[in-house]
Structure 1
């Protein structure tokens, strides 16, 4: 009964306060979208450049000088790969483990605040629906003392909360999926460069072994 009274008091206020909450959430969502759009645009450009440089360098010169390319590139991918490259002296398995550990931390950092967009995309319509329900209850409470037209006006105004909820949710859901795709693409570049590094490592190791074998056979 106490809960019912609380809900009825909320209904007496209508759904206007829900609109205020949704507008605040919309502003926060737009801020996150702008921040991540700038961030991922820069990261994507730097990552593609790094991929091109590392691919050509590893194919032509091997591992020598590869670290210089990584230190000159301000990219999360370069940060991850540098951990692998600096750990190669401990063996390819240790290098891969070092890379995976850094990869997890970097991914957590670049996906920071994305959960907010996902949450808004999934739940903003329900917040709007809650405001609509409160508005409809408020309208029907005044049915006995109001004209029918006034009640219908109140219902139509209450439905605005649902529309605003969708207005907040749709961009949040779209950009959440878009940014997650960008993040996964970056991690795919990490794996691709990592495989090239391991390939160069094994080729250089095999070359040194062949040279050593030839010298000993003489």
Structure 2
């Protein structure tokens, strides 16, 4: 019981006003993060269809350098990922794929920075407000006990009851503030998460386009190399009339 009394005295002395100030501070932080993330995402916006059409025009002509030059001034996630793949294009489609996966992971981490704060605040702000309400209820019953012990009679009881009701009404403000802080944080978190998913989808679209052209180019080059090796080895690709494969003549 000594521990319970000590905790009660601590809560009574501290009051519930600090909970409200904490909620206001957390709300200010969430607003600042939401605005910063929105501005950051806005700087990453590009027309993915126009960008894909431009890449298609350059890569269909086999001009990787021109595609890189077109992507260099762009800051969107898709442009950064496609640029990482095109830089590794001379090393093959497998290397380009790994490079684009690495760039996409780095961009995902940058996009999701500080979003966990919004999600955590949205989930826990009502509980912080409820904590303030509990402290207020403790204060109300403490006042009721002091008023009842100070004077007896019906009038004193009515005054004490009125004081308790007023204190409980004030305590419920903390819960209302907690819910009010949580709702915008949850809305901002969901909106920003959708923006992250959309930008990553655009990046995946462009990476698939780059890989498609690189894989096609490698297949065509491999076919040309096989044909050159066959001719260099003296093996005819035409079948003889009897259907048997011709053999190279000995020197």
TM-score exceeds 0.5: yes
Q: Which residue of 2 aligns with 1:57?
A: 54
- Cα 1:176/1:17, change in 2 over 3 Å: same
TM-score w.r.t. the length of structure 2 is: 0.78
Distance 1:182 1:122 in 2: 20
Structure 2 vs 1, CA of residues 78 and 149 (structure 1 numbering), >3 Å: closer, same or farther?
same
The separation in 2 between residues aligned to 1:100 and 1:11, in whole angstroms, is 55
Alignment size in residue pairs: 214
* Greater CA drift, 5-14 or 118-127: 5-14
RMSD: 2.2
Q: Deviations over 1:100-156 (max 9, x none)?
A: 122212211121111110110011110000000000110111113052111101100
Match of 1:196 among 188, 204, 209: 209
- In the TM superposition, residue 4 of structure 1 has moved relative to its aligned partner by 4.9
C-alpha deviation, 1:213, in angstroms: 6.4
Structure 1 stretches of 4+ moved >6 Å: none
The structure with higher relative contact order (CA 8 Å, sep 6+) is 1
Give the Cα separation in 1 of the matches to 2:14 and 2:189.
33
Structure 2 alignment gaps of length 5 or more: 148-158, 232-236, 239-251
Structure 1: stretches of 5+ with no match in the other structure: none
1:132 aligned residue: 133
Native 8 Å contact 2:125 2:181 kept in 1: yes
Task: Note the C-alpha offset of 1:201.
Answer: 1.3
1:148 is the counterpart of 2:149: no
Please report the TM-score for the alignment, with normalisation by the length of structure 1.
0.88
Alignment partners' CA distance in 2, 1:100 and 1:23? 40
CA–CA distance in structure 1, aligned partners of residues 74 and 179 of structure 2 = 40
Any idea what SS the aligned residue of 1:72 has?
Answer: coil
Distance 1:35 1:12 in 2: 38
Three-state SS of the structure 2 residue aligned to 1:147 is helix
Q: CA offsets per residue over residues 24-62 of structure 1, 9 Å max, x none?
A: 11111111111112222332x32xx2x223321333331
